[in-house]
Chain A
C-alpha cells in the first residue's frame, strides 16, 4: 500500500459559460521517502491536483470524481474539521512565493509555535525549543536569534527555508511543494532543492514537487508524472521519462528544453502547442517593405561597433531629500563598458538585481545614465537633447519586454498596436499600406493577418509576445533589445519564440542585445556573452569560450548551478555543437 494514493480524480470548475474540467482522471501514488515530480505547462492542472489533495480547492472548483487516500483511508470526503486535522498535521504544503506565504506581522517563531500548538500536544516552551531545532535543520544560522525576527528580515532563500520548516514542523507524512523554487535565483534554487532532498530522505517523508521546470525534475525527483491539459500522459522513473519518453507530448516537451551542453541550430518544431500559423506563402523578407529601404546612412566606419556603451553608471534615488548628503542612492549599474558589432547577438546574463535590465533601458534611452555614455552608429545618444533629435534613433532601436501581459495596451486593437510606430514615424504612404504591412508583419510572426482586428486579451502569453515582436519590427529597427523575452512563458512556447527571434535576426540582419537569467537560453541565442553581478560587468567572452573556459569565478559558479540535463534524450535535435561545460563536469 502506498503512502498517498490519488485515484482517478476529476476536478471541475463550473461557471456560467459551462463547466471546465481542470483535471480529468489522474491517478498517482506516492511512497515513503520518495519524491514524485508532477510536471506540465501552465493550465495543465498540476497545481489544482496539489490543492485538491490538501482540500484547498478554490471555489467554485469541486472534486467531481475519484478518491484521495492517505495510508489507505479516504481523506477527500472528510468533514471540514477532520480535514483540518489532516492539513498541516499529516500533509504539509510549501507554496511558490515565500514572500506571501508568511505572515509579515508575526515573528518566525510565533508562526512555528502557533502551527505546532494547533496540531501537537506541546507546551509553549517545548514548541519554542522545537522551532529553534527546526530552523537549524533547514540550515538557518544562529537559529535562536533568527527565530525572534520577522519575515522581512530574511532574504528570499532564507524565507523559503522558514516555509519549509513550517511545513515540517508537525512531522507530516506527505509534503506537497508547489513550484518551491520558481521565485528564487538559481544559486538559491540549488540549495533549496538539496535541502528538500536531504530532508525527504532523512525523515522518510513522501514529497510531491509540482513544477514546470525540467531542471528541477532532473535534479531531485525519483519519479515523474507528466500532465497535459488535465490528463496524465506518462508516469515513470525520472531517468526513463527524460531519457526515453514514450509519449509524443513528453518527447516534444523535452526537445523544447534549452540544454546547457548542446547548442541547437533551431529547436525542433514541437507539436502539441498552441496554434501558430505559418505564413500562407513564405515571403522573402529581404525584398519586402520590412527588409528594404532601411535608409540608415551608416555614419560609422566599417568594422566599428554599432553600439558602444562607455563606463555606464546609473543611480536610483531611494530616499529623496533637499540636502544632497541626506539622499540615499542605489548604484544599479557601475562602470559598464561594452561593444556590440553590427549583426551580432550579444547576451547579458546575471541573477535578479544584477542590473542587466537597467543596462538595457540605459542603452535603449528609457533611462538617462547618471554617468558614462551610449554611442549608437557613431553618435553619442546621451548628448542628444529633446525628442526631435532622438527620433531618428528611436526608430532604429526597439525593445521586446518580459511580461507579455503588461506590454500591450489592453484597450487597443492589435492593428493599432502594431500600426502605431508606422503611423507615428510616417513610414507608409497611405492607411491602406499601413494595414497591408501590419497584416504581413502578423504573418511573419506567425499570428496571421486576421489577428489585426482582435484585442490583446483574446491571445495567450506566447501570442502576445509575438504581437510585441511585430510592434518592435514595425519601425524597421536595426538594433533589437530583448529583455527576458521568454522568462514568463512555458518551455514549448519559449522554444517557438526563440526560433522566431533567431529566424528574424538572420533574415533582417538584426543586431541584438539578448538579456536572460537563463544560461542555457543564452547559449542557444548569443554570439558573445557578458556576465553581470551587482551592477558590474564581470566578464565578456564568446559564448562557446565562456561555457568551456569561464575566466571569472562567479561565471564558473553560475555554470555549476545549471541543471544537469545530460540524461535527456537527444532524439530529433538539430545540434550545432556539443560542449560539456567545464564547471559542470567538475560538479557531477
Chain B
C-alpha cells in the first residue's frame, strides 16, 4: 500500500502538470489563497474567535464596533461587529463555509447532470442527441441567474414558510446546479463524438460490451480532462451566483448567513460610515473567487498541449 502511494507520489512529482505549476507564480499564490480560505471555512468552529450563531453569546452592546485598529475598536473583534454584535471575522469564516458548500455541491450536481447528458447525447446521436441539445440551446438563451431566481421563486411558493429556511440550501444548490449543466453537456458531447469513433471503442463493441459499460469504462475517463477545467472555473461562477442570490435576499436565510448575505446586511449601513460589515466579506468573496478562477485558467492552459 505504502509502496503504491510512493509510486503515485513520485509519478505526480514528475508529471508535467506539477512542473508547470511550480513555474507559474500566479497559480501558486492562487492555490495558497484558496487553501487558506478553504481551511478557515472547514475549521471555522476551531479557529473563529466567536460563534456568531450562538445567540446567548451575542451582546447588543457590542453592536457596530469598528475594526480593532480603529481607536473605538475592541481587540476582541478584529474586523469589528455587525448591527447585532456578531464578530465580522467569525461571520466571514462561517459564511465562507456556506458559500463553499453551496458552490461545491451545485458544481457537483451540474457536473453529474451535464456529463451524463453529454455522454448520452454524443454516444446515442440522432433524435436523442437533437432533443438534448435543443433543450440546452433553449436554456442558454436565458441568463443563468434568471433560471436560478425562477426556481428559487417557485420553490418559495410551493414550500411552507417554516420549511423554507431549512431547505433553502438545497433549493439553492438545485437552482444553481440546474442552471449550469449546459456547458458540461456540450463539452462532453463534443469529446464523446470524437472518442466513440476511435478504434478502442469499436474493439470494445466487438467484444460484446454494452453501451453503458462502454460509456462508463472507456469513454468517460477519456473525456474528463476538459470537464475538470470547466468545473474549476464554474466553482467560481457558482459561488458568485450564490452570493448574488443571497444578496438579493432569495438565498440562504440571515440566521445562517453566507458571504452574500453578510454583504447584504452590511449594505444598508455602508453609507452611515459602518463600512466594515460589508467590505470585509466582500474582500473575502473576491479573493476566493479570483484565486479559484486563476487556478482554473492555469489548469486550462497547462492541460492544453497547443499552449504549452
The chain A residues found within 8 Å of chain B, CB to CB, are 16, 361, 364-366, 387, 390-391, 394-395, 397-399, 401-403, 406-412, 420-421, 424-425, 468, 471-472, 475
Contact = CB atoms under 8 A, between A and B. Distances in A.
Contact of B204 (A395, A420, A472): A420
A411 B199 CA distance: 14
B222 A410 contact: yes
- Among B200, B205, B222, the one with the most A-chain Cβ atoms within 10 Å of its Cβ is B200
A409 B218 contact: yes
Nearest to B219: A409
B19 interface: yes
B19 A16 contact: yes
B206 interface: yes
B304 interface: no
A424 B207 contact: yes
Contacts of A408: 200, 203
B208 A364 contact: no
A402 B207 contact: no
Nearest to B205: A366
B203 A425 contact: no
Contact of B202 (A401, A412, A420): A401
A349 B204 CA distance: 26
A407 B198 contact: yes
Contact of B208 (A407, A411, A425): A425
A472 to B, nearest CB: 8
B221 interface: yes
Interface of B: 19, 198-200, 202-210, 217-218, 221-222
12 contacts: A366-B206, A387-B210, A391-B208, A394-B206, A394-B207, A394-B208, A397-B206, A401-B199, A407-B200, A407-B203, A424-B207, A472-B203
Given A366-B202, A402-B199, A468-B203, A395 B218 contact: no
B200 A406 contact: yes
A421 B207 contact: yes
B206 A424 contact: no
A475 B198 CA distance: 21
A365 B209 contact: no
A503 B202 CA distance: 25
A420 B209 contact: yes
Nearest to B206: A399
A395 B208 contact: yes
A403 B197 CA distance: 12
Given A364-B206, A394-B208, A409-B204, 11 more contacts: A366-B205, A401-B199, A403-B199, A406-B200, A408-B200, A409-B218, A409-B221, A409-B222, A410-B222, A411-B222, A420-B204
B101 to A, nearest CB: 31
A412 B216 CA distance: 13
A406 B218 CA distance: 12
Contacts of B203: 399, 401, 407-408, 468, 471-472
Contacts, number: 57
Contacts of B199: 401-403, 406-407
B271 to A, nearest CB: 56
Nearest to B220: A411
Contacts of A16: 19
Contacts of A401: 199, 202-203
Contacts of A468: 203
A468 B198 CA distance: 14
Nearest to A472: B203
A411 B204 contact: no
Given A16-B19, A411-B221, A411-B222, A406 B198 contact: yes
**Closest 4 CB pairs between A and B?**
A407-B199, A394-B208, A401-B199, A411-B221
Nearest to B197: A406
A401 to B, nearest CB: 4
B193 to A, nearest CB: 14
A364 B221 CA distance: 26
Nearest to B210: A387
B228 to A, nearest CB: 14
Contacts of A394: 206-208
Contacts of B207: 394, 420-421, 424-425, 475
Contact of B206 (A398, A406, A411): A398
A57 B51 CA distance: 65
Contacts of B221: 409, 411
A409 B19 CA distance: 25
B205 A390 contact: no
A425 B199 CA distance: 20
A398 B200 CA distance: 13
A387 B19 CA distance: 47
A409 B223 CA distance: 12
Nearest to B23: A16
A421 B207 CA distance: 6
B1 to A, nearest CB: 16
A336 B276 CA distance: 82
Nearest to B14: A17
Nearest to B211: A387
A365 B205 CA distance: 9
Contacts of A366: 202, 205-206
Nearest to B194: A406
A180 to B, nearest CB: 27
Contacts of B208: 387, 390-391, 394-395, 424-425
Contacts of A425: 207-208
Nearest to B208: A394
Contacts of B204: 409, 420
A260 B222 CA distance: 42
Nearest to B222: A411
A353 B244 CA distance: 57
Contacts of B222: 409-411
Contacts of B210: 387
A409 B200 contact: yes
A366 to B, nearest CB: 6
Nearest to B218: A409
Contacts of B198: 406-407
Contacts of A420: 204, 207, 209
A397 B221 CA distance: 27
Contacts of A387: 208, 210
A480 to B, nearest CB: 11
A390 B208 CA distance: 8
A408 B198 CA distance: 9
Contacts of B205: 366
A357 to B, nearest CB: 11
A53 to B, nearest CB: 27
B16 to A, nearest CB: 9
A570 to B, nearest CB: 37
- Among B202, B208, B221, the one with the most A-chain Cβ atoms within 10 Å of its Cβ is B208
A395 B208 CA distance: 8
A402 B208 CA distance: 20
A403 B202 CA distance: 12
A468 B207 CA distance: 12
Contacts of A409: 200, 204, 218, 221-222
Nearest to A400: B203
